[in-house]
Structure 1
């Protein structure tokens, strides 16, 4: 099966919102043996949507759309698919009841136009939306005597991801019963996509499995996909391939699947019975925010402070004024004392710190924008290091530094005596 993707919305075409749905869905469908062949973006204009759908159906048996399923006048996707398919709109009472229940549970009066979201082209299969008011659907469309399909989902990524997993993927898999596909994804950090490709050259026979890479800042993912007959033992084949991938990539793999670095580190801390405190400067609390995004993080996370000024570093964390005067606030020496201070004032087993120059100003010849230092402290020792990351903007530097800090902690947890 070939698939094309269509992102609908003025905000997408105008550059106000980035389409992340299409790339996500392409990756998920590729694991089922679906070949992505084209991607499109159109504004909230009925003629443009219908015209682009026709164009996409020339390329693919399945067109997957996101956006335009809301209750307002500029949400046109469903009506456009009905027009293209030559089918009347009909109301799905189960979807209407779900929408009413959502408003009732929130103690809100439902605007009448929300019921528009329960109307679908006749003959469409409705995909429930467990977390929002806009259901999805898939509708057959006749193209030159052949039946093709248009599947539609909301533009909200968190809603779409769950609906794709629970509805679209099973629907696609059921249409190819003679073949099964299985895949494993490995999340890595510290190596560029090109380096990962180089390390895996010759590791996997293309006849045995498909190897794919996906850069999803701040990580790069490697996916291995195998296929076979319904009774083939695909998991055993994946076990063998996983061993090869892990041998080649080593500690650069921090997790299987989509697990975030903060989840990996949290799990390791919990397993070892260790607690953590954070002292952040250039990341401004970003690491603490990520750590506390993990349910149950109160079991191991004790303290997070954003000691941005030199006075905060000395007054709160006890960093020596002489250290800052001699080495600077952005230095490995200061980072080490920050980590030790966070550990001391919190009583945590481990202290982790960051300090750096996120830009756009503040850089010098010796310490350009992108100079960051990370520190780690534990009972009986400290470690710190200075890094220079590419200047790709303030947000990127802060995000990369947070990931580097968590990765440094992860590697220490793997081997406290090994290289950091």
Structure 2
């Protein structure tokens, strides 16, 4: 029966701070959704005795230990051999895995290096977890140490490979071995436009502790609100839907999506549904809005183009921003972005456009326009809107929050909501 878990993240790149361990956050969320108690997260570098200590410690703490990383082909990938040593098992080569790896290399027209054969070695007694996106399969196996039994689950450290393996294979297996007929239903609301504290206040009292567990997660630039309901099959779905209805009624205009959906995906879906077309004019964001939009398949159905006009002469020459406007108000002004947005519509024929101009920093600010000053405009047949914001943070944060606000404006426009209703960041 599996009720508790330990996450084990391995790799010198993590302990040195070179790579941020996003895998642990993802795994924590997934385990929470199915009611598994996360006891600890252990991070350890690629040192054999430390790895062995970490595995032995983890087995003593949880019913299942989930490891990410350390199963690549190089000499510092030590997870599989460490697990075999801890379990007292021999390493055996799986020929089906060898053939799978050879086929992957053949598809890209490259010979497979011999060191990849290391990834086909598994401890005796292990069950292989297929990896359709990479050369390193995972595996799970039972182990008993010091009279305590646990299940070890080993997954690759590459998120794009690990996540499908977790969702398609590991989560169903853990759920089937929880030893209870209770199930969990989870609903996640992605919100933007309210601070975490304001969101907490807004939903306070909507859901009683005995009805569901409510949690918040601030993941810049959005905040997630999660509802988790425990109960019998069928019952939990009805209960989570009722609780979700309460949340929607309270904060509907700040909820841009339910589930793992990005703002740009929502905007794309709405513009296609409403038969709207879009153009973007960017200065301080340097193409980030267009990049986010074009990350979503199908954007060609509505997206006309992105005009990155960083310098004043290009703002004038490409978008038609007047010299008088630039001299009187400057490039970072509501007057300038209004003309940028109008120019983008005129040049592309789009029905809606959005424009940005600002001072992302760390230099370039003035007493009147400090670093973080950003102006945004939206232009459409039925309206024109501009706002000035004062953002805080590093250059990349200012660019990201600007792109999020601009996309939220587009979402609100398509839904007929007040476009700049949020009081966050307003100057």
Give the superposition deviation at 1:52: 1.2
Give the equivalent residue in structure 2 for 1:340: 342
Give the equivalent residue in structure 2 for 1:402: 403
Deviates more, 1:255-264 or 1:218-227: 218-227
Give the equivalent residue in structure 1 for 2:158: 156
Give the equivalent residue in structure 1 for 2:413: 412
Give the superposition deviation at 1:57: 2.3
Give the equivalent residue in structure 2 for 1:121: 123
Are 1:198 and 2:201 matched, yes or no? yes
Distance (Å, rounded) in 1 between the aligned partners of 2:123 and 2:218: 37
Contact 2:409 2:419 in 1 (8 A): no
Give the equivalent residue in structure 2 for 1:252: 254
Q: CA RMSD in A?
A: 1.4
Deviates more, 1:70-79 or 1:53-62: 53-62
Are 1:175 and 2:174 matched, yes or no? no
Q: 1:195-235: CA deviations, max 9, x gaps?
A: 22222222112222111222222211111111223x43322
Q: Secondary structure at the residue paired with 2:186?
A: strand
Deviates more, 1:159-168 or 1:209-218: 209-218
Give the equivalent residue in structure 2 for 1:300: 302
Structure 1 pair 236/124, CA: closer, same or farther in 2 (3 Å)?
A: same
Matching of residues 69-148 of structure 1 within 5 Å? 69-148=71-150
Deviates more, 1:218-227 or 1:26-35: 218-227
Runs (4+) off by over 4 Å:
416-420
Distance (Å, rounded) in 1 between the aligned partners of 2:295 and 2:356: 19
Distance (Å, rounded) in 1 between the aligned partners of 2:143 and 2:196: 39
Gaps of 5+ in 2: 422-427
Contact 2:9 2:68 in 1 (8 A): yes
Give the equivalent residue in structure 2 for 1:211: 214
Q: Secondary structure at the residue paired with 2:314?
A: helix
Distance (Å, rounded) in 1 between the aligned partners of 2:121 and 2:196: 44
Give the equivalent residue in structure 2 for 1:16: 18
Distance (Å, rounded) in 2 between the aligned partners of 1:351 and 1:268: 15
Q: 1:318-369: CA deviations, max 9, x gaps?
A: 1111112122111111111111110010000011111100000001111111
Distance (Å, rounded) in 1 between the aligned partners of 2:120 and 2:348: 53
Q: Secondary structure at the residue paired with 1:59?
A: coil
Give the equivalent residue in structure 1 for 2:313: 311
Distance (Å, rounded) in 2 between the aligned partners of 1:234 and 1:272: 34
Give the equivalent residue in structure 2 for 1:234: 236
Gaps of 5+ in 1: none
- TM-score by structure 2 length? 0.95
Q: Secondary structure at the residue paired with 1:115?
A: helix
Contact 2:412 2:418 in 1 (8 A): no
Structure 1 pair 8/73, CA: closer, same or farther in 2 (3 Å)?
A: same
Matching of residues 346-385 of structure 1 within 5 Å? 346-385=348-387
Give the superposition deviation at 1:416: 6.0
Distance (Å, rounded) in 1 between the aligned partners of 2:418 and 2:34: 42
Distance (Å, rounded) in 2 between the aligned partners of 1:385 and 1:345: 23
- TM-score by structure 1 length? 0.97
Deviates more, 1:366-375 or 1:171-180: 171-180
Deviates more, 1:202-211 or 1:269-278: 202-211
Give the superposition deviation at 1:167: 1.1
Give the equivalent residue in structure 1 for 2:245: 243
